[in-house]
Chain A
Amino acid sequence: MQALRYARATSIDEAMRMLQEGGETARVLAGGTDVIVQARERRRVIGLFVDIKHIPEVMALEYDPQRGLRIGSAVPLYRVYGDANVQRVYPALRAAAHVIGGKAIQGRASLGGNLSNASPAADSIPTMMASEAVAEIAGPNGRRDVRVNEFCTGPGRNVLQPGEFVVTLRFPQPAPHTGQAWERFIPRNEMDIAVVNAACALTLSGDTVTAARIAIGAVAPTAIMVPAAAEALVGRRLTDDTIAAAGAAAKDAAIPIEDMRGTVRQRKHLADVLVQRVVRAAAEKARGN
C-alpha cells in the first residue's frame, strides 16, 4: 500500500476542511471496495483518505411518497436492497444493488461510490439514470445538483471538482402507472462484471407509453441514455414491433470496446436483447402500479 493518512469526518464541513488540507491527493473514503484496491495497486495516487461514513446525512436513507427517496452516498448496498420502500417503489434499483459484488462487498460498497468510481460497467448507474436520480454534491462553494446521467465523463472520470463529493442521491417519486426494470448479462450466475446492463423506467396510460427512459451500460465510455429507444416507444402502444424498435435503437447507440468480457458484436446484440427485456418487465410492473 502506498503511504497515506486517514482522517474521519463527522460533518460535511469537517470533511470539506480535511479534503482542502489534504490537497490534490485527498480522496473520499466511503465503502472503500474500489478506492482501497486502487490505492493498493497504485492506480490512483492517494495521500489522504477522508472517511465520510460517520457523517449522519451520508449514511441516511429516507423515503417519503411526496418527496421520493434520498439515499446517503455511503449507505451500504445491503441497506439499499434490504429497504422495504426501495423494494416496493424502486425495484430496478433493488435488483442492481442486490448483485453488485458478493455479500462481503455489499456490506460496505455504496451507490455514491459506484457512481463516483464511474466504471462504464457500473451496475447501479443505468438504473439511477433511468429513474432520474440526482446527485447532490457538497463542495468548497456550497451544494450543487448534477443529474446522474450527466455525472460520468469517461471511464473513471466524473464532474466532481477538487474538494467536492457526492453527499446524497435523490430519486423522484415515480409517476402513477410507472414501472422500472434492470437487467444485466454476465456469463456466470453471480459475482461478475456486466458484459452489458440495461435499465428502463416506463409510464403507461392504458396500453400506450406516455414516458420512457432507457439507459445501457458497459457499451460506451460511460453508461448512456438512449433517447432514440425511448422515442421508439413514447406515444405508441406497446407491441412486439415497437419493443423491437427500442432494442434496435439501443443496438445502434452502443459503441462498445472489445475485451475479455465480450466482443463488439456480442455487446451490441446484448444491448438489443436486454433493452427489449427491461421494456417488457417495466411495462409489466407499470400495469400493476
Chain B
Amino acid sequence: MATSERLVITATINGDERTFLADSRDSLLEALRERLDLKGVKEGCNNGNCGACAVILDGRLVNSCCVMAAEIEGSRVETVEGLAGPEALHPLQQCFLEGAALQCGICTPGFLMSSKALLAENPAPTDEEVRFWLAGNLCRCTGYDKIIEAVQAAAEQMRAQK
C-alpha cells in the first residue's frame, strides 16, 4: 500500500516567509486552507475547471487544486488575503464591491487573483481580452457583465495611480 509523508515546506506566502507542516498528498489548495488557515482560497470543482482556487504562484496564475503543496517549496504564493493594503482595499476589491460584481462570493477570490494577474500583464485590456482571460473562472450568480465592468473600472484607477 502506498504511503504519504509529512513534509516541512518553506515558501513566501503573501510576502511573509512561512514554514509549515504538510502531507505529501496535500494539494496547494488544501495546504493553504487547512495548514495555513487561508480560507479565502475556495474549493469549487477541485479539477481545474472553475478557477475558484486560483492563486498567483511565482508571478503566474495557477489553480491551486492542480498544484501539489510540495511543489511550492522555495516559491512565492499570493492569495486574496494579501491583496488589500494596510490602508485600503485593492482597487479590484473596491471596484468589485462598488459595482456589485459578486453575489454569493465563492468565485470572487479566484476572479480577483485572476484579474490581478491579467492587469499585471496587460494594464489596459479590451473587454474581449478581459473575457478571454477570465474564461477559466466560473460564476454562477452574476452573469459576468458586472465583473467585466469592475475589472475595467479597477484597471482605469490603477492606470491613473501610476
Answer yes or no: B11 CB below 8 A from chain A CBs. no
Contact with B along A156-190 (1 / 0, CB 8 A): 00000000000000000000000000000000011
Inside 8 A of B54's CB, which chain A residues have their CB? 104
Let me know if B161 is at the binding interface, CB within 8 A. Answer: no
Determine if A37 and B48 form an interchain contact, defined as CB atoms under 8 angstroms apart.
yes
Residue B47 at the chain A interface, CB threshold 8 Å: yes
27 pairs from A and B in contact (CB 8 Å cutoff): A1-B26, A3-B1, A5-B5, A6-B68, A6-B71, A31-B66, A32-B68, A33-B48, A33-B63, A36-B27, A36-B68, A37-B47, A45-B2, A49-B68, A49-B70, A51-B71, A76-B60, A103-B117, A104-B61, A104-B62, A105-B48, A105-B63, A105-B136, A107-B57, A107-B62, A108-B66, A191-B135
| Chain B residues closer than 8 Å to A108, beta-carbon distance | 60, 62-63, 66-67
- Tally inter-chain residue pairs, CB-CB below 8 A: 109
Interface residues of B in 113-162 (CB under 8 A from A): 114, 117-118, 131-133, 135-137
Please classify the interface of chain B as helix (H, G, I), strand (E, B), loop, or mixed, using the class held by over half of its residues: mixed
A5-B136 contact in complex given A32-B67, A37-B48, C-beta closer than 8 Å: no
Which residue of chain B has the shortest Cβ distance to A6 in the bound complex? B70
Interface residues of B in 90-107 (CB under 8 A from A): none
CB of A25 within 8 A of CB of B46, answer no
Q: Are A190 and B66 in contact (CB under 8 A)?
A: no
Distance to closest chain A CB from B76 (angstroms): 13
Interface size class of A (residues with CB under 8 A): 35 or more
- Determine the distance from Cα of A8 to Cα of B133 in the docked complex, in whole angstroms: 31
- Whether the Cβ atoms of A104 and B136 lie closer than 8 Å is yes
8 Å CB interface, B63-77 against A:
63, 65-68, 70-71, 73
Q: How far apart are the CA atoms of A105 and B48 in the complex, in Å?
A: 7
Residue from B2, B26, B48, B118 in contact with A2 in the complex, judged by beta carbons closer than 8 Å: B2
Q: Determine the distance from Cα of A2 to Cα of B26 in the docked complex, in whole angstroms.
A: 10
| Cβ of A28 to closest chain B Cβ, rounded Å | 13
**A227 interface contact, C-beta 8 A:** no
Q: Does A84 contact B (CB under 8 A)?
A: no
In the complex, the 8 A-B pairs of residues with the closest C-beta atoms, listed nearest first: A102-B136, A47-B2, A190-B135, A107-B60, A6-B70, A3-B4, A1-B25, A191-B135
Contact A104–B71 (Cβ < 8 Å): no
Nearest CB to that of B45 among chain A residues? A37
Chain A neighbourhood of B49, CB < 8 A: 191
* CB of B12 within 8 Å of the partner chain: no
Of residues 66 through 80 on chain A, the ones whose CB sits less than 8 Å from some CB of chain B are: 76, 78
Question: What is the CB-to-nearest-CB distance from B112 to chain A, in angstroms, rounded to a whole number?
Answer: 13
Q: Residues 99-129 of chain A: 1 if any B CB is under 8 Å from the residue's CB, otherwise 0?
A: 0011111011000000000000000000000
- Report the bound CA distance from A4 to B5 in whole Å: 8
Q: Does B14 contact A (CB under 8 A)?
A: no
Encode contact with B along A116-146: 1 for CB under 8 Å, 0 otherwise: 0000000000000000000000000000000
B4 close to A4 (CB less than 8 A): yes
